[in-house]
Amino acid sequence: MIDNFLAGTVALFGDPFSILIFVFGVIGGMLFGAIPGVSMLTLAAILLPFTANFDPAQGVMLFAVIYCTGTYGGAITAILFNIPGAPENAPTAFDGYPMTKNGQSGKAVGAAVLCSAIGGVTSAVIMMMATEPLANWAISNIGPPEIFALVFFGLAVASSVGGRTIWKGWISVLCGLMIATIGQDPVGGINRYNFGFADLAAGIAFVPAILGFFAVSEIFVQAEKKAIGKYVAPELSFDFPTIIELWINKIAVVRSIVVGFFCGILPGIGATLAAFMGYGEAVRWSKNKKEFGKGKLEGVISSETANNAATGAAMIPLLALGLPGGAMTALMVGVFQMHDLEPGPMVFYNSPELIWIVFSAMFYANLSILFIGLIETKTILYLLKIPFQFLAPMILLLSSIGSYIGRGLVLDVMIMFGAGIIGFLLRRSGYSIPGIVLGIILGKIGEQNFAQGMQMVHYDIFEYLSRPICLLLIVAGLLTLLAGVYRAVSFSMK
Amino acid sequence: MNKLKVSHIFETSVWIVIIFVFFAFSFEFDQEIEIYIFGATGWPRTILGILLLVVLGNFFQLYKKGSQEHHGRIGISEDDESISYESFKSVQKLIAILLLPFLYSLSLKPVGFYSATPFFIAFLIMLLGEKRTKWILANTLLIYFLIILLFMVLLNAPLPQGNVSPFYDFSAFMLTINTNLHQYFNF
C-alpha cells in the first residue's frame, strides 16, 4: 500500500499541471463551499466540460479534491449564516449558528477546520487500506433491500431532528418524500405530478431545493427581522478552540469517524446521512442532551468529522462498484464517462495508477484543509462584517446562478425561490428544513431500492427480513419511530 | 383543554388540502407496471396515507398542548412563531421582499440575466433598508461587476439571455464583450 501511495504522490506532485489542478481544486472547493449560495456542486457542474481536456486521473483527482475541501467549506456558511453549503453541512448549523450568535464563530469554524481534516485524513487512510476488502464485502452483503433498510433507518433518525415537535419532524420528512415523487417513477418511467410542466418530468433537482429551503429561506428570515427592526448582526470572534476543548471531545471524533465512514461506504447514501447520524449519535450518547442546538461545540465536531469521514468512504462504492454515493460522486462518473471509462472493479486492474493518484490527492487535500483552512478562516470570518442589505443580494444571485447552471432551466430558479418562501413559512411554524431536504434526497433512492428489493424477495416480507442487515436496520428504525410515537402521545396526554 | 388557535386549524387544513390534491392527481398516473405490483402510485399513496395520519396526530397535539415544544428536541430553529408586526408597512415590506425574487425569476426568461439583475440588486438593497442613493448605486454596480466577472468572464457559465428585444440584444452585447476579452487575453 505504501509503495502505491508513494507512487501516487510522485505522479501527483511530479507533474506541474497536476499540482496546478490540485491547488485549484483545494482553493476552489473551499471557496465555493464557503460562499453562501453556491456550493462545490456548482463548481463541479461548471468544470465538468473542461475535464475533457485533462487526463482521466487529473479529472477525477480534481473532483475528488473539490469534494474533500468543499465538504469542509460548506461548514463555514452553515456556522456563520445558518446556510449549509451542502446538505451534509446541515447538522453543523444546528450548533454552529447558535455559537456564532453567542459570539463564538471563531471557535466553531476552528473546530470545523480541525475535525474536517481529522475525519478526512483518517477516512482517506482507511480508504487506501480497505477499499478492496470492503468492496468485496459490500458486493456480497449490500443490495437494494439493505439500502432501503438503511434509508428507512436514516429517515427515522432524521425525523427526530429539527422540528419543534416529533409530529412536525415526521411531517417534514414525509413532505420531502412527497416532493421526491415528482418526476418519473424509478421503475416504469411513468410521469408523476408534473402538473403540465414538461421540465418537471425529470423531477425536482435537489440543488435548487437545497438552496431554496436553506439559503433563500434564511435570507427571508433575516429580512423579516430587518423589516420589523429585530435584526442583530452576528458578532465577529477569532477565539479558536483550545486543545483541551478538543481533547474533551475525542470520543465524539472517533464515534463520528466510524459512523461517517460506515454511512459513506453505502452506495446512494453519501455524506448527508453520515452527518445527521454523527450528530444524532452525539446527542444520544451525551449526558447533556439539552445543550445541543444551543451552541455546543460537540455538535459541530460530530457533524463535521462524520461528513468528511464519509468523503473517503464514498469513493469506495464509486471506484469498486461504479455506484455513486451522492451528487458529487455522480458527477465523477461523468468525468469517467467523458474519457470512455466506466468506474467499477475493472478500473483497479486497468488503471491502478489513476486510483492511487486519486487516493493520494484526497489524502493531501484533507491535510491541506488544516493548513489553508486555518489561514483563510480569519479572512472568511470578515464576511460577517458585510452589512446584510449588501450580502443578501449576493447570496440570492449566487443561489440563482447555482440553481440555473445545473440543468439550464429558469424553472429551477423559480422552484428555488418557491422553496424559499415555503421554507420560510414552515420554519416559522416549527417544521424541520433539514428533514424536508433529507426526504427529497433519500426519497428517490429509497423508492428505487424498495422496488428492486421487493422484486428480489418476490414481495415476501419474511424473506426480506431474513436478511440480517435488513432485519437489524428495520427493527432499529421501527423502534425509533415507536419510541417517538410513545413520547409524542404521552406528552399530549399529560 | 382546547388550546387550538385559528392558525393551527389553518395549518392543518392546508396539509389536508395538499394531501387530497396530491391524492386526486395520483389518478392521472394510476397505471400498472408489469414488473412491479405496486405500480406508479403505490409509493406516493403510501406516503400520503402516513402523512395524513401524522397530520392528524399533529392536530391532536395542537388541540391538547398548542404550540408547546417537545422536551429534548434538537436542532430547532429559533424562528419565533410570535414575531409581531407593529405596522402595516412592515408587512408590506416583507411581502415585497418575498415576492421580488420570485418576480426576478419570472423575468429571467424574457428579460435575461444580464438586464434583470442590476434592477433586482438595487430594489432588494432598497427594500432591506438602505436609503442612501449613492450606496445603492455603488453596491449594485459592484455586486453586478463581481458576478459578471466570476461567472461570465472567468467561468464562461451559460446564463439566461432573454428572448425579448432590446434585452436579448443587450445580452448579445455582453457576450460579445466576453468573447473579445477572451480573445484579447488569449484564455
| CA-based nearest distance A304→chain B, Å | 15
Tell me what pLDDT residue B12 has.
94
> Cα separation of B135 and A280, whole Å?
45
Whether residue B74 and residue A410 make contact (CB cut-off 8 A), yes or no, is no
A224: contact with B, CB 8 A cutoff = yes
Q: What is the mean pLDDT of residues A177-193?
A: 90
pLDDT at A473 over 60: yes
For residue A189, give the chain B residue with the closest CA: B40
Tell me what pLDDT residue A161 has.
65
Tell me what pLDDT residue B108 has.
93
Nearest by CB to B160, from A171, A174, A410: name it: A410
Q: What is the mean pLDDT of residues A312-336?
A: 72
Q: Which of A51, A168, A409, A457 to mutate to test the interface with B (most CBs of B within 10 A)?
A: A168
pLDDT at A327 over 70: no
Contact A146, A323 (CB under 8 A): no
- Cell readout for A486 is 410513545
DSSP code for A192: E
For residue B123, give the chain A residue with the closest CA: A393
Tell me what pLDDT residue A162 has.
65
Q: What is the mean pLDDT of residues A247-255?
A: 87
Which residue would you say has higher pLDDT here, A276 or A349? Answer: A276
> Cα separation of B122 and A395, whole Å?
14
pLDDT at A393 over 80: yes
Contact A1, A359 (CB under 8 A): no
Q: Give A408-464 pLDDT, tens digit per residue.
A: 889 999 999 999 999 999 988 888 887 887 788 778 888 988 999 999 999 998 999
The region of weakest confidence among A56-60, A240-244, A431-435, B182-186 is A240-244
Nearest by CB to B54, from A170, A393, A432: name it: A170
Which residues of B fall within a CB distance of 8 Å from A293?
Answer: 73-76
Count other C-beta atoms under 10 Å from residue A148's C-beta.
26
Q: Which of B46, B56, B79, B132 to mutate to test the interface with A (most CBs of A within 10 A)?
A: B79
> Cα separation of A434 and A210, whole Å?
9
pLDDT band at A340 (very low <50, low <70, confident <90, very high): confident
For B94-118, letters b (16+ CB in 10 Å) and e give: bebbbebbbebbebbbebbbbbbbe
Tell me, rounded to whole angstroms, the distance of Cα A122 from its chain centroid.
18
Q: Give A122-168 pLDDT, tens digit per residue.
A: 888 888 887 767 666 766 777 889 888 878 887 887 776 667 788 99
- Domain ranges, ordered by start, for chain B: 6-65, 88-185
- Cell readout for A280 is 444524532
Mean pLDDT, all residues of chain A: 82
Give this complex's ipTM.
0.90
pTM over 0.80: no
Count other C-beta atoms under 10 Å from residue A489's C-beta.
15
A188: contact with B, CB 8 A cutoff = yes
A228-237, A476-485, B79-88 — most confident range: A476-485
> Cα separation of A256 and A277, whole Å?
8
Q: Give A348-389 pLDDT, tens digit per residue.
A: 767 777 778 888 888 888 888 888 777 776 776 676 678 888
A230: contact with B, CB 8 A cutoff = yes
Tell me what pLDDT residue B117 has.
95
Alpha-carbon torsion (A238, A244, A249, A253), positive or negative: positive
> Cα separation of A319 and A333, whole Å?
9
B55: contact with A, CB 8 A cutoff = yes
Which residues are CB-neighbours of A397 under 8 A, at least 6 positions away?
A: A37, B117, B120, B121, B143, B147
Which residue would you say has higher pLDDT here, A392 or B67? Answer: A392
Percent of chain A with pLDDT over 90: 11
Tell me what pLDDT residue B78 has.
54
The region of weakest confidence among A92-96, A333-337, B133-137 is A333-337
CA B135 to each of CA A264, A382, A391: distance values in angstroms, whole numbers, following the listed order: 47, 20, 13
pLDDT at A321 over 80: no
Q: Which of A94, A181, A294 to mutate to test the interface with B (most CBs of B within 10 A)?
A: A181
**Rounded (10°) CA dihedral A286, A287, A292, A297:** -70
Nearest by CB to A164, from B69, B85, B146: name it: B69
Q: Which of B76, B103, B127 to mutate to test the interface with A (most CBs of A within 10 A)?
A: B76
Parts of chain B with a pLDDT under 50: none
Which residue would you say has higher pLDDT here, A6 or A43? Answer: A6
Tell me what pLDDT residue A182 has.
93
Whether residue A94 and residue B75 make contact (CB cut-off 8 A), yes or no, is yes
pLDDT at A49 over 70: no
Which residues of B fall within a CB distance of 8 Å from A164?
Answer: 67, 69-70, 73, 76
Taking alpha carbons only, the member of B13, B175, B36, B41 closest to residue A454 is: B36
Tell me what pLDDT residue B4 has.
81
